[in-house]
A and B are shown apart, each in its own frame.
Chain A
């Protein structure tokens, strides 16, 4: 943590004050975001906002359960994002499968496939919990603790192996892309 140069520390200050978020709402939980963006909780006062594309985003917010099919797309999306990037797992399903723990098509823990910086527990977490999590993430970025993107690079082999074990193949083959 002390390896950061002065420039990195300044950059981390900037990054913590301007976080653009890509919310991948494949499961439930998307409905908790509008209250945290609009006038009740107003995420924009913290410098956060939704972004339309993975290239511009800093945070990948994954809400609710992830099916195998969507996990392939999420891995694509994550690898498209520019460093430094942060992943937030949202809801019980990303932590341990939640009520879908025995499903044939949903994964049980997200940090096995992608480096998660922060989890928000609950089914569903309330907007207060979301804002609290973002505050914690800001704090972590300022201290240089949100290093998921570095971990993903260092342990790339391990993550790839896990992805292949559950998915068979990460590359998407379907009738609409070929």
Chain B
């Protein structure tokens, strides 16, 4: 049983390598990462959906700011053998545009809106992409980009409580006292 299942996974990975020339990284026993070229990602996803990986767990995005690119990750799950496949592709950070998969997975519409809102990635074909989902009336950089400074934003928009006492300074004094007394006891 396990053997046949593993064979099945290996077979699909072989096929994916051959047809879509993906790079495969084994993460764990039942997790494999498939890194695909930009234009071959959608056909690869369609192929995997046909082969049993029919559940799109999530679509998410990673900001590789030094390499100037975004990594889009589609996490697919197979309910019959419990194998998770991560399909990842890289897109340009300065012009972040990709294609929608909402025709394959209707739920992807919301994941795409999520990614658009937090990273600014456009999804061609998803016309509801620009509607606000979590952040209402947002007019700054997308907040999960690495060049966005949340502390600065928070200081500008959400006033802090001003403490009359400098708690850290006082704690240092108290601690110094403690060390002195401890010194006394030890000495």
Contact = CB atoms under 8 A, between A and B. Distances in A.
Contacts of A109: 158-161
B154 A175 contact: no
B96 to A, nearest CB: 19
Interface stretch (B1-9, B34-42, B143-151): B143-151
A109 B158 CA distance: 8
Contact of B158 (A95, A97, A175): A97
Contacts of A95: 161
| Chain B: interface size category | 10 to 19
B159 A104 contact: no
A7 B163 CA distance: 39
A174 B132 contact: yes
A139 to B, nearest CB: 25
B165 interface: no
Contact of A168 (B137, B153, B154, B158): B137
B178 interface: no
Taking chain B's interface residues, is the majority helix, strand, or loop, or is none over half, making it mixed? loop
Nearest to A109: B161
B94 interface: no
B143 A175 contact: no
Contacts of B150: 102-104
Contacts, number: 54
Contacts of B136: 68-69, 72, 172-174
Interface string A65-109: 000110010000000000000000000000111000111111111
B154 A108 contact: yes
A150 interface: no
A169 interface: yes
Contacts of B135: 68-69, 105
A153 B127 CA distance: 44
Interface string B112-145: 0000000000000000000110111101100100
A10 interface: no
A112 interface: yes
A95 B161 CA distance: 8
5 contacts: A104-B148, A109-B160, A166-B158, A166-B159, A174-B132
A-B pairs, top 9 by smallest CB distance, nearest first, are A102-B151, A168-B137, A104-B150, A104-B143, A108-B158, A96-B161, A107-B158, A109-B161, A104-B153
Interface of A: 68-69, 72, 95-97, 101-109, 112, 162, 165-169, 172-175
Given A104-B140, A108-B161, A109-B161, 16 more contacts: A69-B134, A95-B161, A96-B161, A97-B154, A101-B154, A102-B150, A102-B151, A104-B143, A104-B153, A104-B154, A105-B134, A107-B158, A108-B154, A162-B159, A166-B157, A173-B136
